[in-house]
Chains A and B, each alone.
Chain A
Amino acid sequence: MSPSSANFTGKARVALNDPKLRANFRRAMDGLMAKRAAQFTDRAEWTALRARGGEVRTRALAKLPELLERLEQRCAANGITVHWAETTTEANAIVLGILQAAGARKVIKGKSMVTEEMHLNAHLEAHGITTVESDLGEYIIQLAGEAPSHIVMPCIHKNKGEIAELFAQKIPGQRYTEDVDELTAAARRALRGEFAGADAGISGVNFAVAETGTLVLIENEGNGRLSTTLPPLHIAVTGIEKVLEKLEDVPPLLSLLSRSATGQPITTYVNMISGPRKPGELDGPHAVHLVLLDNGRSRVYADPQLRDTLRCIRCAACMNHCPVYTRVGGHTYSFTYPGPIGKILTPQLEGLDCAGDQPHASTLCGACAEVCPVEIPIPKLLVRLRREAVSSASAAVKGGGSGRSLAEALGWRGYAVVFASPPLYRLVSSLLGWFGNWMPAWAPMLKPWTRTRTKPHFAAKSLHQLARERGIDHE
């Protein structure tokens, strides 16, 4: 995506002026926050569980190269073919190659953000392969020709009226109704045929267990299970960071993930995929492939601080609690991962030159880090990325240094000189006290502030001056 089409600030302005969109997000995020809060009422349990979650993910990342090798071996032993993709282009080519070799023309998809990152559907469609999203939310936005606006609830930006209208337009024979059960039934009817007729199923992976070569996939609709068991071919696609060391690492993360994401103690379906149909078995695909995508993750991994980004288990609690995301919605972020996790992940995957405004789209309020189930210090990483953007010697992040301007560098240099020199600071604060309030509210540097607020008023006498006059002890 080009930097201009990824203009966060411009898109935010449009989103903020859409009252329906804002209402949809506010209502939905309020609901998700309340559901999550109801799950973690016991603070000691939450603290202990998230510490465990953080430990599991940190340990897996610490041993990542070794665990990935073990995962490949164990998967191979289970009959799962493992493929490695450095880039999204490679990953798309691998998936297309597997489908073409099998003569597949129709694909049913379970929910997968990594395939969104790859723009896989468009790639397959361009090669004559039909893809149908089977997760209800993904199905809706596919009908609408849109991208997900949330990583767990992809069509959260739409209310039921909008969905009713869409279904009436796009599903043959469907009348306009806002009855949620009827709408769900319509999607279910349409999807049943797609499952039965699919040549292959493509899914994401929540956790890949190195110890046993197991792919863990959680969901609520049964579409994930159907996508991965009904068609003769299953291709699972995920990022290299999703690996866990042991099977016993799975339960604490499942608990954290479902409770943080949707406020459920556990999801309706927990799929543990450990290979294709074995001789004598009655169901399951005949072949299972696992595609492991890097797409910049190795570079994130190489930096000991930025590596924390990769702990993410994609629960979306950070965006549900983000005061910025709640107001601008997911599409404003332009890339696959919106909200706080997107603000730290996207600039690292796409480059600071491309998504450099994202780390600044935060007040650093810390609501995200407070609820993160694996303790990712998101505000600290936002500041780190801001630093990389203006650092002349930055090599840690793609596009590092691209946000540096001479004017800004001089401005901060001036700030440091004045605020580190008591005589200069005294002079400047006196000048501001005398003349600062003369600056008109329409002055260009004040305008962004004064459009919705009155101008701040410099005190006639600073506290330094008052303290001197009133004889407050100075040492």
Chain B
Amino acid sequence: MATLEDRQDARSARNGWLLSAPSLVILSFAAVGPLFIMLVYSFLKAGQYGNVEWAFSTDGWVATLFTRDIFDDTVSLADAHLTIFWRSVKLSILTTILTFSVGFPTAWFIATRPPKARALWLFLITIPFWTNLLIRTFAINEIIRSEGVLNTLLKKLGLIDAPLQIIYTDTAVLIGMTYVYLPLMVLPLFAAIDRFDMRILEACYDLYASRWRALTRVIVPIVKPGIVAGSILVFIPSLGAYVTPRILGGGKNMMIGNFIELQFGQGRNWPLGAALSVVLLVIVATALLFYVRAVNREVRHD
């Protein structure tokens, strides 16, 4: 016979499943499901006018890295694809570094304000979220384009003769992404710095540490969880960015996100698009794995 305790255990287990049911449903339909469909599609044949034919094929996967010459049917490495992968990774890493360089002092500044002012600054940081991403990106376009605010200003000041060609370059994409993702870096950094006990900083100075040593030997290691969280939050969406490279990078400075969209749109090669999506997923997962490992090793070596 079941004891009272056993019955209570059974009930709490049942309640646990019931409570998690909504999230399990959402996760399986909205996360696992689409990923599974992508994986299946990547192994099918491309349809003539988009969509897929239900026949097994590895063409989609081959096409991620190789191109088949239309005339002599030889297979060669697809330089253009590799360039896009490399640009995506490079721009995402640079975006992460830039948002950190700008975000860390910002977060430090906010965290060291009196509590009332702190709330105001945090509020200001989140204001860009109120506007549509597209509109914000066009605003950046307006600033950096050839006849834009920046170039006009520099010309008026006599600092340049010809307008700086920023728009439709990797630099433009970098500026745009740094602007868009900055809050995602600032907020976790703020949370970590806010928890940092400033008396520890006094202990650093008391024990003969210079400002730089206090920063590198004590502050950064202690707020590291915030740095890791911020970097992940910036790096992942950067890698899959679509709107920003589309508007600021023009047609030629594509990133993976644009490339995938191309395959599902004009390219009419859904299996390739699906395979590229999986590649993106793998790049993100690998990058995170290496990053988190590297961070943890550093902790142990200190």
Tell whether A and B belong to one assembly: no
Interface residues of A (CB under 8 A from B): none
